[in-house]
Amino acid sequence: MFGWFGRKKEENKEKLDQGLTKTRDSVFGRIKTLLGPSDVTPDFYDELETLLLQADLGVATTEPLVEGLKKLNLKRTDEVRSALKQRLVGILTPTLKRNGNEQRLLTVWLFVGVNGSGKTTSIAKIAHMLKAQGKRVVLAAGDTFRAAAIDQLQVWGQRVGVDVVAQRPGSDPGAVVFDSIVYSFSHHADVLLIDTAGRLTTKFNLMQELKKLYSICAKQVHQAPHETFLVLDATTGQNAISQAKNFTEAAKITGIILTKLDGTAKGGVAFAIAKELGIPIRFVTTGEKLDDIAEFDPQDFVEGLFE
């Protein structure tokens, strides 16, 4: 079985497992111990709830999860373990239909997220994997508010070996997007990846800016942008959810990219994100190298926590 980028499922699962090491070795290690074969005691569910909260699943996800398990009236903890794993997979199962990977003259993906979330690096990793698949990729430096953002994307473009369309700092982001689309068509690119500003003064400014970019994309390319990915830093835990809510009000988010999973022991935040936002996690980044990225598989993610 191959994913979007032609990587075998086993290889993708290995990347995911590597990223979950800290989470698996800390709180979920204790959850695994608690769920070892024994009888369910009166204090069992209180202990389980405490550990799930410590794993950063959040109150809104943990309370109904534990209450649902209690209603099953299971007598053995290993039975609870099976039921818990099944319900965790259910939480992570995508609730939005992905736009697919069908053939288009040009596919346009838009990336949003706060500064420092790993957005630019995620774009580079996805560009690297698309290029390895034989796709011709162009990057658009749409974050014109920060000179460093433009420079960073250009450096990554050189490392990956893909073209970057950029203008001077302070330029109109819409002009950059328009130019990048024209450039992509003229150079027969397959995929255009667009970086956007990580932080604007107010939510209104963010909404207006993204609305303009959406309009430009849609006028130039049929149904574009075909994907809008929100990049969230896993190490920020529950704060990532509050950040996400601002962006989901401003943009039509089709998927989450969860970054720096390898750097946190609270990978359980993935469940809180999926539960509270109702948006599927599509990719996770698991290290600093260009190939340290994995397509998100709910079953593999849950199995990786308990193995």
Mind listing the pLDDT tens digit of every residue in the chain (307 residues)? 335 566 678 888 898 898 999 999 989 999 999 999 999 999 999 999 999 999 999 999 999 999 999 999 999 999 999 999 999 999 999 755 555 555 689 999 999 998 889 999 999 999 999 999 999 999 999 999 889 999 999 999 999 999 999 999 999 999 999 999 999 999 999 999 999 998 765 667 878 889 999 999 999 999 999 999 999 999 988 888 888 888 888 889 999 999 999 988 888 999 999 999 999 999 999 988 999 999 999 999 999 999 8
- Among 264, 200, 191, CA closest to 232: 264
CA distances from 196 to 153, 231, 257 (A): 11, 11, 15
DSSP secondary structure code for residue 262 in this structure: G
For 108, counting Cβ atoms within 10 Å of its Cβ (0-12 exposed, 13-18 middle, 19+ buried), the class is buried
Residue 257, beta-bridge partner list = 231, 283
Radius of gyration in angstroms for the set of CA atoms belonging to the chain, rounded to a whole number = 20
From the list 193, 194, 123, the residue with the least C-alpha distance to 159 is 123
Which alpha helices (H) appear in the chain, and where do they start and end?
9-19, 21-25, 27-34, 44-54, 59-70, 77-92, 119-132, 147-160, 173-186, 203-220, 239-250, 269-277, 298-306
What is d(CA 130, CA 132) in angstroms, rounded to the nearest whole number? 5
According to the model, what pLDDT value does residue 1 have? Answer: 30
Residues 6+ positions from 6 with CB-CB distance below 8 Å: 132, 133
